[in-house]
Structure 1
Amino acid sequence: MQFRVEAYYRPQHGDKRELLVAPEDVDELIDSLLAGPIHQNLAELHSLERSTLPSGAPDHELLVGADQSLQVGVLEFMDASGNWTTVGLQEGRTEVRYSCVNHMTEFPAHSEIPIDLIRRAVKEFCLSGGQRPTCVQWENPEFW
């Protein structure tokens, strides 16, 4: 079960992205997000198994957020089909913010899901060659 996914979530990844190649790497990434500073609790992932746009940029993106205090996280997936965010429980937070190297991203209300489901979904993304995970519910928010 090998794959090739680039991750950006720490300042040092600006020059060289971290390479995830096995499911254990996904667990280490999420553990690092959970243990790291609050302004670095969001990662940007790109599968190297997908085609790039004519510009050379990735044709997709998966954002992965992890909140240590609540043991929840959030996912955003973007490709030609649109922007998608996870659907969480209605009693979840209405203000959902995560930060990738000091760049704050707001997510729709009630978009957080349990951290174990985040782990499963990110592994599915990696193992599927960068496809939107099917183990979570998604919505295509109007305003986001």
Structure 2
Amino acid sequence: MNYTLEFGLEAVTDDATIIARNAEEVDAALDRIIAASATFNHNPTAFVLERPRLGPLRFPDHGLKIDVDPERGAAALAWVGPGYDSPWMTHSDRSVSGASLHKDIDSATPFPANAAITLDQLRAAVHEFHDSGGHRPTCVEWQPTDGW
């Protein structure tokens, strides 16, 4: 099945809902997200439109939250979805000196240093998220986290 991603991008330089149906559109969405990263108002998020939505407010049953530090070549992800009782964030054995990555930009809650992944890993994970219909990508390592 082909899935459709909806990216929410809220940045001073680019404020949009971006729809991506294929690999080229996912790459174009990531290019926009990376280009706008210095001016994020909120973390960009991705959802699969074909997945269930819950409750009267129709919240998605899953999600992928992104932060990017392109100057350091780093990113971090948080994921929530079916089959797991709590959210997860990326895990890496490499630290990126000076990287500024936030799990929640609004509250200035940082990702820990061991959540940093490369921009290539970010792309691979978002493509896998798309191709799998919103499941947690297996191409990166994960660690539990205490909040979305």
Q: Which band: TM-score by shorter chain? A: 0.7 to 0.9
2 CA distance for matches of 1:142 and 1:105?
A: 12
Displacement after TM superposition at 1:63 (Å): 0.8
For the Cα contact (< 8 Å) 1:71–1:115, is it kept in 2? yes
Query: Hey, what does 1:50 align to over in structure 2?
Result: 51
1:63 aligns with 2:77: no
Summarize the Cα distance change of 1:73–1:95 in structure 2 as closer, same or farther, 3 Å threshold.
closer
Calculate the aligned-residue CA RMSD, in Å: 2.7
- The answer for unaligned runs of 5 or more in structure 1 is none
For the Cα contact (< 8 Å) 1:39–1:98, is it kept in 2? no
TM-score by length of 1: 0.81
**Secondary structure, in 3 states, of the residue corresponding to 1:92?**
coil
Percent identity, aligned pairs only? 29
For the Cα contact (< 8 Å) 1:5–1:48, is it kept in 2? yes
TM-score by length of 2: 0.80
2 CA distance for matches of 1:141 and 1:96?
A: 18
Summarize the Cα distance change of 1:87–1:61 in structure 2 as closer, same or farther, 3 Å threshold.
same
2 CA distance for matches of 1:32 and 1:75?
A: 17
The partner residue of 1:91 within 77, 92, 95 is 95
For the Cα contact (< 8 Å) 2:128–2:137, is it kept in 1? yes
Tell me which amino acid in the other structure corresponds to 1:47: V
- The answer for unaligned runs of 5 or more in structure 2 is none
